[in-house]
Chain A
Amino acid sequence: MNLCPKGVTEHPADLCRNSCLEFRVPSQSWFSLLLQDVLCVPERRLLEDSRNLPVASGTARSERLLLFDDVLVSSPLSRRCLRSVFPGSVLTPCFPCPQAVWRWKLEQAVRQALNGKRDFPLWGSRGEGSQAPSRRFFTYAFRMEGRLRGATYEGEWLWGKPHGKGTLKWRDGRNHVGDFQEGLEHGFGICLVPRRSEDRYDCYKCHWYRGKMRGYGICEYGNDLVYKGYFKDNVRQGFGILENFSAEHPFKYTGHWENDKKNGYGVWEDKERGERYIGMWLDDHRHGEGIVVTQSGLCYQRTFHADKMVGSGILLLEDDSVYEGNFTEELTFVGKVGISSLFSWNSSWIHLPTSFLPTMENPNPVLFSSQLGLKEFPVEKRWTGIFEQFLEFLHSGCKEEMEESFTGFHIQTSKELRKSQEYLFCQRGSEEISWKIEEILEELVQHQEPESLQSYLEKALGSSLHPLGKLLRALTVAFQATYSGIGANRHLLAMAQEEVKFYSKKIWEFYQGLLRLALERKGRAPAQDADPRSVGSSLVLPLILPGFYPELSMLYMLQHQREDELYCQGIVELSLFPDIQLLEFLDVQKHLWPLKDLTLTSNQRRSLIKDKCFLSATECLQKLITTVDPREKLEILRQTYEELELTVSRLPGAERRLPMDDLLPLLVFVVSRARIQHLGAEIHLIRDLMDPTNQGGMLDFLLTALEVRGIFPRNSVHFLQCLWKTPWKSRNSEQGGVDGRFQVLAPWNSLNGFHGIP
């Protein structure tokens, strides 16, 4: 209901519509008219008139105040007598000496209007309803206020300011739903912003801090771009992922932002070209050192300047040839090119100019490490944005509202996203879903002992709600963006390996930070850090490894592909041998042949048996690929050895304690029978990621013993050649004799064991 006839001066206080009292200060000329014509309707009840009851002693007669059940009307001159906090707050009359009755009546009228009741209590009665509630729910359109001018707010208010949950709508179509605090967007909110040109919206699902976007957010832009990452002061800042899902020119950028622009270390994947750029950015341009990996497997390292390649770079082909010089993005060389090759080279990939002259200026493959990016992007400088967020959270003293926004990368699938939004928006602090930070800190203090610490960390890192778990998810996202898919290029192995180790170090640091904070809260002095840092990170490393294992093991496989192929070839050839022939070939001492268990005639043994000897050890070794944890892998190695020893110990006359001269041939036998395809990759992965304190110890020894795979390729092929040329029987008969050809082809095979089959 609009009470103001056209032309009436409107005071900003003409609010409180629907849910509260209207407060009108019409001009003097209109005042009497109002009283007669408009205000006096049968539905409205006059509650108080300052003529009957002066507002304060000594008020002039011209100052008139009328209190109706839905409107408060004041004569223009008495304006100064009332002060209110707008909108919707309690009006506080500031008369020199306000009448208690007036104030009471005013409050009651407000309360009543809010409740929509007409049960006006008697003067003097006390009770819950005697004070008008300070928190209200109603709609109000801002007309004068600066920032919110033109906006309509529907939602919860406190002391005249949007506070709590509400919806804010602007005339231009902007729409904000979410949490407010003291008149500003604060907490989780969803904001729709229409795009200028098209009939589409940018949708921000984001955390806000005092009216500005801050912390983790997701923005679905109207042009099919999606940004997931951190904001600060309404712009993209810190770590974030921008992805283009539209059909034309799809891309994905994972990296750092500054002032809404790509800046710092970042990974850009051009899905159309099948290329990935890993390197430095400045103001949305590739700028600085960068590595480009392509789908075809070639990669190069260049210096970029505002998206243009400058200077000379290094180009690595799949076949390990290395080109050095200046080349364009289409890989056309400009000027002189230096070529060196680790193995062989062909130039089929490159459009060489006719004046091309291969110069072997830099043919030193030893000098050139085939691993890229180690110097250019020190591991401490990568993904700083992720760690900074966590650090900020720690420094804030682990405030709960900080925790919500410090990282949201645990949200992966859309289903989880929905769940998580519910959690963020509606169920804030609910115990069933979130781990309260107090509980987390309490648990930290309780699980300091090495045994419980391990299982606690495992649980924490596995949970997407624990701060450490969230951190790990964010790191996984960054890692996958770099090294999965196109990024699975063996020249990046060292970078990836270094990164995983660094993560474990960082996570351990953050764990210690959390613990220190928890202890401080309890008023206890933080325990002096007795154990060196390496102990902690080697505890964390196996726990976080599963998240990075697929990419990492792929890189290891690629790096060691060539040697593993040779070794596999050797194994395939060895697999043609029956057990006895293989044992003999490997020079395993006769008394260690575990054939007494098998009730077969010597003839049968020779020709038939395969995959029977040392079966338990073989099967044990095969479990190596079923686990991710380097500690477990080493344990499997130890068990394999135990199985071997156990089998041998059952044989009469064999000494239980095997010297290396006996053990190694047996290991070769087991390894060749276990047929683990990527054994080389496995060994290197274990060695690089195992606890460094194992160095030189028993487990290191076992791992080194497994390196026997290295002798497969070179030897078995030769041996087979001569095996087919010299049939079994004829070799057998030449006891002690030396077959010249055999000697040449397999000089390593000392003929000690050749005494025929009994």
Chain B
Amino acid sequence: MMAIRELKVCLLGDTGVGKSSIVCRFVQDHFDHNISPTIGASFMTKTVPCGNELHKFLIWDTAGQERFHSLAPMYYRGSAAAVIVYDITKQDSFHTLKKWVKELKEHGPENIVMAIAGNKCDLSDIREVPMKDAKEYAESIGAIVVETSAKNAVNIEELFQGISQQIPPLDPHENSNNGAIKLGRQTSQTGRRCC
């Protein structure tokens, strides 16, 4: 049996850029023997093979509204990866993305894998954010970047495959006897909770 690794992934980005559509598309056509529990389109899981491991993505959606911004640290805490989504037809959403990257760099978990997704690439005729800008920016911060279309299922699989590959392989010494390892950190100290 292949080892299953649970990876927490959080979705960040402005409201209306299609965060959950990307995940819905990714999760939708999967064939899972166990019916994974979900919370609407807000919490979903999908297991994909990667090398000799199975990666089980636990995907945490966040609310994009500004007022919920202060809650974000609770969502990206313990995440192995963050998918930051912008809308290629909205320059504003790309600004927001930069803010998220900055926050993750400062307060996010160490070694978090960042993936930038420019969604709605099917609407490239009304594009506001050039592909080049996104690529340059992603390179400067060392993040994965793809332009996706949740509507037409473009690059969705690739996005998550890219994340899978970036996840450092398991340290054999840390391997517990049943093969599963928790990536989520034990954050049980009460004294340091952020709110």
Contacts and interface: CB of A to CB of B under 8 A. Distances in A.
B39 A702 contact: yes
Contacts of A705: 39, 42
Interface in B21-69: 21, 24, 37-43, 45, 58, 60-69
Interface stretch (B117-125, B162-170, B176-184): B176-184
B70 A747 contact: no
A696 B190 contact: no
B74 interface: yes
B195 A563 contact: yes
Contact of A695 (B20, B65, B78, B193): B78
A702 B70 CA distance: 17
B190 A660 contact: no
Classify the interface of chain A: helix, strand, loop or mixed.
helix
Interface stretch (A121-129, A135-143, A424-432, A708-716): A708-716
A578 to B, nearest CB: 21
Nearest to B178: A532
A66 interface: no
Contacts of B176: 532
B140 interface: no
A379 to B, nearest CB: 13
B40 A587 contact: no
Contact of B191 (A494, A663, A748): A494
Contacts of A587: 65, 67
A698 B43 contact: yes
Interface in A703-742: 704-705, 707-708, 710-711, 715
B6 interface: yes
A371 B191 CA distance: 7
Nearest to B183: A696
Q: Is the interface of B mostly helix, strand, loop or mixed?
A: loop
Contact of A711 (B6, B15, B71, B185): B71
B113 to A, nearest CB: 15
Contacts of A700: 184
A641 interface: yes
Contact of B40 (A658, A693, A696, A749): A658
Interface centre among A645, A656, A663 (most CB of B within 10 A): A663
B191 A660 contact: no
A299 to B, nearest CB: 16
B40 A497 contact: no
A585 B63 CA distance: 16
A494 B71 contact: no
Contacts of A658: 40-42
A750 B67 CA distance: 8
Nearest to A702: B39
B65 A748 contact: yes
A716 to B, nearest CB: 11
B184 A695 contact: yes
B3 to A, nearest CB: 15
A497 B11 CA distance: 32
B63 A747 contact: no
Interface in A573-597: 587
Max count, chain A CB within 10 A of own CB: residue among B8, B11, B191 = B191
Given A497-B190, A660-B42, A707-B71, A696 B65 contact: no
A31 to B, nearest CB: 87
Nearest to A692: B186
Interface string B67-85: 1111100110010000000
A687 B193 CA distance: 11
B43 A748 contact: no
User: Quick one: which of A687, A700, A705 has the most chain B CB within 10 A?
Assistant: A705
Contact of B61 (A660, A687, A702): A660
B39 A695 contact: no
A717 to B, nearest CB: 14
A663 B190 contact: no
Contacts of B65: 587, 661, 664-665, 748, 750
Given A494-B191, A657-B40, A658-B40, A697 B62 contact: no
B11 to A, nearest CB: 8
B142 interface: no
A254 interface: no
Contacts of B182: 692-693, 695-696
A371 B192 CA distance: 11
Contacts of A665: 63, 65
A369 interface: yes
B37 A698 contact: yes
Contacts of B193: 684
Given A658-B42, A748-B67, A688 B184 contact: no
B22 to A, nearest CB: 11
Interface string A166-182: 00000000000000000
A658 B40 CA distance: 5
Nearest to B188: A688
A489 interface: no
A655 to B, nearest CB: 8
A355 B82 CA distance: 56
B39 A641 contact: yes
Contacts of A497: 190
B130 interface: no
Interface string A634-659: 00000001000100000000011111
* B43, B65, B190 — most chain A CB neighbours (10 Å): B190
B58 A697 contact: yes
A715 B71 CA distance: 13
A574 to B, nearest CB: 14
A515 interface: no
A750 B96 CA distance: 14
Contacts of B15: 661, 752
A711 B24 contact: no
B20 A748 contact: no
A695 B42 contact: no
B40 A711 contact: no
A633 B24 CA distance: 28
Given A587-B65, A707-B195, A698 B190 contact: no
A234 to B, nearest CB: 44
B191 A701 contact: no
B63 A661 contact: yes
Contact of B42 (A369, A656, A663, A710): A663
A275 to B, nearest CB: 25
A263 interface: no
B67 A660 contact: no
A752 B67 CA distance: 13
Contact of B67 (A698, A701, A702, A749): A749
A692 B21 CA distance: 30
B39 A715 contact: no
B139 to A, nearest CB: 29
A480 to B, nearest CB: 21
A658 B20 CA distance: 9
A661 B64 contact: yes
Interface in B95-115: none
Given A661-B20, A698-B43, A370 B191 contact: yes
In the A-B complex, list the 5 residue pairs whose CB atoms are closest, starting with the nearest: A659-B20, A748-B67, A696-B184, A660-B61, A658-B40
Interface of B: 6, 8, 11, 15-16, 19-21, 24, 37-43, 45, 58, 60-71, 74-75, 78, 176-178, 182-186, 188-191, 193, 195
Given A687-B188, A696-B8, A752-B15, 11 more contacts: A494-B190, A559-B190, A641-B39, A655-B41, A657-B20, A657-B40, A663-B63, A695-B182, A701-B43, A704-B60, A748-B65
26 contacts: A494-B191, A497-B190, A655-B41, A660-B11, A660-B62, A660-B63, A661-B19, A661-B64, A663-B39, A663-B40, A664-B65, A695-B185, A695-B186, A696-B6, A697-B58, A698-B38, A698-B43, A700-B184, A702-B39, A707-B71, A708-B68, A711-B68, A748-B65, A748-B66, A748-B69, A752-B15
Interface of A: 369-371, 493-494, 497, 532, 559, 563, 587, 641, 645, 655-661, 663-665, 684, 687-688, 692-693, 695-698, 700-702, 704-705, 707-708, 710-711, 715, 747-750, 752
